């Protein structure tokens, strides 16, 4: 796939470009946003973009032999909420216009390289722009272990120097030194003060002067150190490039051999689960709390769809397009999907609910080949964060080709609801292959979308095909999603639905789940006619979450709980160091 790479000059954007190339993509152009010339500033107070080092970005075009597109940042951080919608004068719109410029000249570009590691704020906005322009976001560094990642970058030939410092333990004397030189020291600062090793907390910024993608390296001949704050505790300073030149490289210096493409099989539980599945091929299924098979017999359905009201919790089950009139004839699956979704919407409205209150959905279809056509209509009923779901095949009674069950939780004022909707391609977990989010956490519950065994960086099922491989990979994906919620899968899972595409897989699924879980929760093992992408197994879980903590009427902070906890610990350590050093 041809892609455009967002470049800031930093190590992350350069190493993600290398990952894109290693995964078979072609960098056709690079793009950068810089401070407005009239500002006279090298650095802006931007939540989205690194601007320090912008005075040497123009060299990247010649280094990589691709065109560089640039725009000035006109907007600011206007909308600071966790989600983003089109907002006038927001700096996100500068990115949209920049990428439109690129696509005008290169309409065959289909993706974008983004060096995001931890910032949900940046990820959400980049993915929003990608959706508007029909692009795929490639963010191979997303949620990577920072200590492992920084070592990997330096070992792969990324020669990035520090051009800004802004944290305890870092001083202007560290400016100009490479990430390879400073790696041991950054690890030490992480141990002492919880400094983010990759600088994700804004502790430092870098500028890449060489990497294997460069046909020429940048030689820095003259710089100026600009000190923002000469605080003895945490100096803030950056480098301004005064004179640079380019130097030719040999073919051997452009070797990409040390770029690591992550292998999902390195997951710590892989061998144990594969072995358990292989040993269970002839075992009977005897211990499941509930076993059902809809692979050969139709799902039973009451005469009327049901609504269970335990306010603020609601369960609406068995809805089809034929609820009111089973004599209707639809021309196609799109019409039936529209009617079914409208029937669900009417039931929600009757209970004073809307689609934003829905926390999980189970969609049953008679023909999995209709997957894409159903999604095209289904997604029109949701905004930027559709609810988690599982979509599986089923032999439905009567004329229905589609049935929907859902759970909704009525929103309570001042109670936070967190939705995770990651759409970029990475090694972390699969991007959504339909209109659903990975998870919703609210009011003491976490609902996670059904996970099949897709290889995250390719969105393909593993080859050669085997139930053991898919079981291990789908559980690995599930674990990675849940880990972001800080709700350990093994201890917090309250209920699990395991769908398999053949009844003979039931004992294999049970072996995999019981091997993975220390104490398996109540689990329903269900054989269905088919799963998305022809998968063999899909896991859907409900977890116990902390009870809600009310927040004020003002917009709450957009950082994740993990980021907030890390920042709290960091601030406490900073205060302790201040007290130890200065008697404050």
Show pLDDT as tens, one digit a residue, over the chain (584 residues): 999 999 999 999 999 999 999 999 999 999 999 999 888 787 787 889 999 999 999 999 999 999 999 999 999 999 999 899 999 999 999 999 999 999 999 999 999 999 999 999 999 999 999 999 999 999 999 999 999 999 999 999 999 999 999 999 999 999 999 999 999 999 999 999 999 999 998 999 999 999 999 999 999 999 999 998 777 667 899 999 999 999 999 998 999 999 999 999 999 999 999 999 999 987 765 554 455 655 555 665 444 578 888 889 999 999 999 988 888 999 999 999 999 999 999 999 999 999 999 999 999 999 999 999 999 999 999 988 999 999 999 999 889 999 999 999 998 877 888 999 999 999 999 998 889 999 999 999 999 999 999 999 999 999 999 999 999 999 999 999 999 999 999 999 999 999 999 999 999 999 999 999 989 999 999 999 999 999 999 999 999 998 866 554 444 444 444 444 444 444 444 333 333 332 33
Residue ranges matching CATH 3.40.50.620 in the chain: 2-253
> Secondary structure of 172-215 in the HEC alphabet?
HHHCCCEHHHHHHHHHHHHHHHCCCCCCCCCCEEEEEEECCCCC
Radius of gyration of the chain (CA): 26
Report how far Cα 543 is from the mean position of its chain's Cα atoms: 19
Q: Are 516 and 455 in contact (CB under 8 A)?
A: no
Q: What does DSSP say about strands 111-113 and 68-72: parallel, antiparallel, or unpaired? A: unpaired
| CATH homologous superfamily, domain 264-283+304-544 | RutC-like (3.30.1330.40)
How far from the centroid of its chain's Cα atoms is residue 369's Cα? 27
Instruction: Give the CATH H-level superfamily of domain 2-253.
Output: HUPs (3.40.50.620)
Q: Which of 213, 28, 295 is nearest to 135 (CA)?
A: 28
E-assigned strands of 16-135?
26-34, 68-72, 111-113
DSSP category for residue 540: E
Is-above-0.75 flag for pTM? yes
State the span(s) of the chain assigned CATH 3.30.1330.40. 264-283+304-544
Tell me if the bond preceding 117 is cis, omega within 30° of 0.
no
* Alpha-carbon gap, residue 318 to 127, rounded angstroms: 34
68: left (phi over 0), alpha (psi -120 to 50) or beta: beta
Quote the CA–CA distance of 422 and 475 in Å, as a whole number: 18
- Alpha carbons 250 and 411: distance in angstroms, whole number: 61
Say which residue the tokens 């290889």 belong to.
455
CA 333/CA 345 separation, integer angstroms: 18
């Amino acid at each position: 796939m041809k892609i455009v790479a967002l470049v800031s000059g930093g190590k992350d954007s350069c190493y993600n470009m290398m990952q894109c190339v290693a995964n078979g993509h072609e960098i056709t152009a690079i793009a950068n946003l810089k401070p407005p010339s009239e500002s006279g500033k090298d650095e802006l107070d931007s939540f989205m973009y690194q601007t320090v080092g912008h005075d040497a970005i123009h060299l990247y075009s010649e280094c990589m032999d691709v065109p560089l597109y640039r725009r000035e940042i006109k907007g600011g951080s206007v909308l600071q909420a966790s989600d983003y919608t089109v907002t006038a004068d927001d700096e996100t719109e500068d990115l949209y216009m920049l990428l439109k410029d690129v696509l005008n000249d290169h309409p065959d570009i289909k993706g974008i390289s983004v060096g995001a590691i931890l910032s949900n704020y940046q990820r959400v906005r980049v993915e929003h722009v990608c959706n508007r322009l029909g692009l795929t976001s490639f963010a191979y560094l997303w949620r990577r272990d920072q200590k492992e990642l920084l070592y990997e970058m330096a070992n792969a030939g990324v020669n990035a120097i520090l051009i800004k410092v802004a944290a305890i333990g870092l001083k202007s004397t560290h400016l100009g030194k490479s990430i390879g030189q400073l790696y041991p020291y950054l690890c030490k600062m992480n141990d002492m003060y919880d400094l983010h090793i990759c600088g994700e907390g804004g502790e430092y910024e870098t500028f890449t002067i060489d990497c294997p993608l460069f046909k020429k390296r940048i030689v820095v001949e003259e710089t100026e150190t600009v000190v923002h704050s000469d605080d003895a505790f945490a100096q803030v300073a950056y480098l301004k490039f005064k004179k640079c030149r380019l130097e030719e490289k040999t073919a051997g210096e452009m070797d990409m051999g040390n770029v690591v493409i992550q292998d999902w099989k390195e997951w710590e539980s892989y061998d144990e689960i594969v072995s358990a599945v292989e040993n269970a091929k002839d075992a009977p299924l005897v211990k499941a709390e509930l076993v059902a098979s809809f692979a050969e017999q139709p799902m039973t359905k009451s005469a009327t769809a049901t609504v269970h009201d335990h306010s603020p919790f609601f369960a609406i089950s068995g809805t089809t397009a034929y609820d009111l009139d089973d004599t209707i004839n639809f021309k196609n699956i799109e019409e039936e999907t529209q009617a079914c979704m409208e029937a669900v919407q009417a039931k929600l409205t009757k209970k004073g609910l809307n689609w934003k209150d829905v926390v999980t959905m189970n969609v049953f279809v008679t023909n999995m080949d209709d997957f894409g056509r159903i999604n095209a209509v289904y997604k029109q009923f949701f905004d930027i964060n559709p609810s988690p779901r599982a979509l599986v095949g089923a032999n439905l009674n009567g004329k229905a080709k589609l049935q929907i069950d859902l759970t909704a939780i009525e929103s309570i004022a001042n109670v936070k609801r967190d939705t995770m909707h990651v759409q970029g391609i990475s090694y972390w977990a699969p991007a959504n292959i339909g209109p659903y989010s990975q998870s919703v956490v609210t009011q003491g519950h976490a609902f996670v979308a059904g996970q099949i065994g897709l290889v995250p960086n390719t969105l393909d099922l593993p080859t050669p095909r085997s139930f053991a491989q898919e079981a291990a990979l789908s559980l690995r994906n599930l674990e990675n999603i849940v880990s972001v919620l800080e709700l350990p899968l093994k201890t917090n899972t309250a209920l699990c639905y395991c769908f398999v595409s053949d009844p003979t897989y039931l004992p294999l699924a049970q072996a995999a789940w019981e091997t993975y879980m220390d104490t398996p929760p109540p689990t329903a093992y269900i054989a269905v006619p088919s799963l998305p992408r022809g998968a063999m197994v899909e896991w859907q879980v409900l977890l116990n979450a902390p009870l809600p903590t009310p927040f004020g009427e003002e917009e709450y902070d957009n950082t994740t709980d993990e980021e907030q906890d890390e920042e709290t610990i960091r601030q406490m350590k900073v205060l302790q160091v201040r007290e130890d050093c200065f008697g404050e």
